[in-house]
A and B are shown apart, each in its own frame.
Chain A
Amino acid sequence: MLSPAIVVIALVAAYPIGYAIWLSLNEYSVRVPGLSRFAGFDNYTEALGSPEFWNAVVTTFIFTGISVALELALGLAMALAMHEAFRGRGLLRTVVLVPWAVLTVVSAITWRTIFEPNLGLAPQVLSTLGLPGADIVWLGESGYALAVMVLADVWKTAPFMALLLLAGLQVIPNDLYDAAKVDGATTWQRFLRVTLPLLTPAILVALIFRTLDALRIFDLPYVLTRGANDTTTLSLIAHQELTSNRLIGYGSALSVLTFVIVMAVSLLYIRTVGGNIRALAEEK
Chain B
Amino acid sequence: MRRLRPLALAAAILALALAACGDDDDGGAGGGAADAESVSQAKATGDVTWCIGKDTTGAFGTVVENFNKANPEANVELLQLPESADEQRRLQIQRLRAESPECDVLGMDVIWTAEYAAQGWLLDVTEAVEKRKDEFIPSTLNTALYEDKYWAVPFNTNAGFIYYRTDQEAQPPENWQAMYEEAQKGNGLIYQGARYEGLTVNFLELLYSAGGNVINEDGTEATADSQETRDVLTFMNQGIEDGAVPKAVTTYMEEESRRAFEAGDATFMRNWPYAYALAKESNIADDFAVTTFPSYQGNQGAGVLGGYDLAISAYSENPEGSLAFINFATSPEQQVLMVTKASLPPVTTSVYSDPQVEKTLPFAAELLDAVEQAKPRPVSPVYPQISEAIYTNVFAALQGDMTPDEAASTMNEEIQKALETF
Contacts and interface: CB of A to CB of B under 8 A. Distances in A.
B259 A19 contact: no
B385 A245 contact: yes
Interface in A36-91: 36-37
Nearest to A3: B9
A243 B115 contact: no
B248 A117 contact: yes
Interface stretch (B19-27, B154-162, B173-181, B370-378): B19-27
Given A3-B9, A245-B384, A19 B21 contact: yes
B422 A27 contact: yes
Contacts of B26: 34, 36
Interface string B242-267: 00001110110000100110010100
Interface in B381-422: 381-382, 384-385, 388, 395, 399, 421-422
A189 interface: no
Interface in A202-260: 225-229, 240, 243-247
B17 interface: yes
A34 to B, nearest CB: 4
B196 A226 contact: yes
B118 A31 contact: yes
Which of A35, A140, A243 neighbours the largest number of chain B CB atoms within 10 Å of its CB? A140
Interface residues of B, number: 48
Given A29-B422, A117-B248, A10 B13 contact: yes
Given A14-B10, A18-B17, A33 B422 contact: no
A171 interface: no
A265 B297 CA distance: 56
A191 interface: no
B17 A244 contact: no
A6 B6 contact: yes
B32 interface: yes
A30 B421 contact: yes
Contact of B395 (A30, A118, A228, A246): A228
Contacts of A3: 5-6, 9
A30 B422 contact: yes
Nearest to A231: B195
Contacts of B90: 243
B29 A22 contact: no
A29 B422 CA distance: 5
Contacts of B98: none
B30 interface: yes
Contacts, number: 130
B32 A31 contact: yes
A139 B22 CA distance: 44
Interface string A17-32: 0110111001111111
Which of B14, B115, B422 neighbours the largest number of chain A CB atoms within 10 Å of its CB? B422
A116 B381 contact: no
A37 B30 contact: no
Given A3-B9, A33-B120, A14 B14 contact: yes
Contacts of B251: 116-117, 137, 139-140, 225, 228
A140 B247 contact: yes
B72 interface: no
Contact of B260 (A31, A34, A119): A119
B84 to A, nearest CB: 11
A33 B17 contact: no
Given A6-B9, A117-B246, A244-B388, A33 B195 contact: no
A7 interface: yes
Which of A9, A33, A36, A139 neighbours the largest number of chain B CB atoms within 10 Å of its CB? A33
Contacts of B5: 2-3
A118 B248 contact: yes
Given A22-B21, A32-B32, A140 B14 contact: no
A30 B381 contact: yes
B25 A28 contact: yes
Given A22-B18, A22-B21, A240 B256 contact: no
Contacts of B196: 226
Contacts of A31: 32, 118, 381-382, 421-422
Contacts of A228: 194-195, 250-251, 395
B195 A226 contact: yes
B246 A247 contact: no
B195 A30 contact: no
Contact of A119 (B28, B29, B120, B263): B263
Contacts of B260: 117-119
A19 B15 CA distance: 10
Contacts of A245: 382, 384-385, 388
Contact of B421 (A119, A137, A240, A247): A247
Contacts of B385: 245, 247
Which of B195, B259, B388 neighbours the largest number of chain A CB atoms within 10 Å of its CB? B195
A247 B196 CA distance: 19
A10 B14 contact: yes
Interface string B168-191: 000000000000000000000000
Contacts of B10: 6, 9-10, 14
A18 B28 contact: no
A7 B27 CA distance: 29
8 contacts: A2-B5, A15-B17, A27-B422, A31-B32, A32-B32, A32-B118, A118-B263, A246-B93
Q: Which 9 A-B pairs have the closest CB atoms?
A: A117-B248, A228-B195, A34-B29, A10-B13, A33-B120, A140-B250, A15-B17, A140-B251, A18-B17
Interface of A: 2-3, 6-7, 9-11, 14-15, 18-19, 21-23, 26-37, 116-119, 137, 139-140, 225-229, 240, 243-247
Given A35-B29, A140-B251, A246-B384, 11 more contacts: A10-B9, A31-B118, A31-B382, A32-B31, A33-B118, A34-B29, A116-B259, A117-B248, A137-B251, A226-B196, A247-B421
